[in-house]
């Protein structure tokens, strides 16, 4: 199955994706994570990508679309987290023949609180929340033992910019897939366990 997970920043896309990866073996393709890795390299594009992410803006389409397509080439079971983020990006991956699109619906005040308490492991793959999804040992990733950090774009001024872009660029993507009748909207306001249960129910997998 080929899936997309949509939702505002802090809606829990990464947490749901991690769980679907662990339980069902989906290849978990996080656009943000791939871009942060790219930004850490010593390439011509790296500094441009780093600055764009830290400003909360969208990285240019040609970079993101090529990167995602390279990752999913010849794969049949994957989920795209944080991609597509605009109608242009959605149109650019028509050839992938995405089957279902999950749309996590959460109110803005809830996600702002989640973002303030969000921590990620320094390897970049595992996400936590100091109150709602704490690690077993404070400040340390349960899975790889790396220190937990706060993302540079999880600060109020940048969060505001990310929401602005979400409303103008990314919300129309949900509409795009709703018209194709493959959009599954899920209440994302509960605990990580509740949201994940709702996702599995919507996908009819257990
Ligand atoms: P995320 O980890 O999904 O919150 O993404 C972090 C940042 O990476 C975003 O704020 C953008 O700067 C960049 N980014 C992630 N996905 C995309 C995308 N599909 N298109 C453009 N930029 C992206």
Closest CA to 153 of 57, 80, 83, 84: 57
Burial 30-47 (b: 16+ CB within 10 A, else e): bbbbbbbbbbeeeeeeee
Assigned token pair, 69: 């397509």
Residue 44: per-residue pLDDT: 84
Alpha carbon of 134 to ligand 1 centroid (Å): 24
Determine the pLDDT at residue 156: 87
| Ordered mean pLDDT values, 10 residues apiece, the chain (206 residues) | 96 95 96 93 91 95 96 97 97 97 94 90 89 95 95 90 94 97 96 96 92
Task: Give residue ranges with CB within 6 A of ligand 1.
Answer: 9, 31-32, 35, 52-53, 56-59, 64, 82-85, 89, 153, 162
> What is the per-residue pLDDT for 124?
75
3-state secondary structure 112-151: HHHHHCEEEECCCCCEEECCCECCCCCCECCCCCCEEECC
Which residues make beta-bridge pairs with 44? none
Ligand 1 centroid, distance to 58 Cα (angstroms): 6
| CATH numbers and ranges of domains, the chain | 2-203 (3.40.50.300)
pTM: 0.91
Give the nearest ligand 1 atom to 85 CA.
19
Report CA(82)–ligand 1 centroid distance (Å). 6
Distance from the Cα of residue 89 to its chain's centroid: 15
Q: Which atom from ligand 1 is nearest to the alpha carbon of 82?
A: 3
């Amino acid at each position: 199955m080929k899936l997309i997970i949509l939702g505002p920043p802090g809606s829990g896309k990464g947490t749901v994706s991690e769980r679907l990866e662990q339980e069902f073996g989906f290849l978990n393709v996080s656009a943000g994570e791939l871009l942060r890795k790219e930004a850490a390299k010593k390439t011509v594009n790296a500094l441009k990508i780093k600055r764009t992410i830290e400003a909360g803006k969208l990285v240019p389409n040609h970079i993101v679309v090529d990167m995602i397509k390279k990752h999913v080439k010849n794969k049949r079971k994957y989920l795209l987290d944080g991609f597509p983020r605009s109608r242009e990006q959605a149109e650019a991956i028509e050839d992938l023949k995405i089957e279902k699109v999950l749309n996590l619906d959460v109110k803005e005040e809830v996600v702002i609180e989640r973002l303030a308490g969000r921590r990620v492991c320094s390897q970049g793959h595992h996400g936590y929340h100091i109150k709602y999804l704490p690690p077993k040992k404070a400040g340390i990733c349960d899975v790889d033992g790396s220190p937990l950090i706060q993302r540079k774009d999880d600060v109020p001024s940048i969060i505001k910019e990310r929401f602005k872009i979400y409303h103008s660029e990314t919300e129309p993507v949900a509409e795009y897939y709703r018209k194709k009748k493959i959009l599954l909207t899920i209440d994302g306001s509960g605990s990580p366990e509740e949201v994940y249960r709702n996702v599995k129910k919507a996908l009819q997998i257990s």
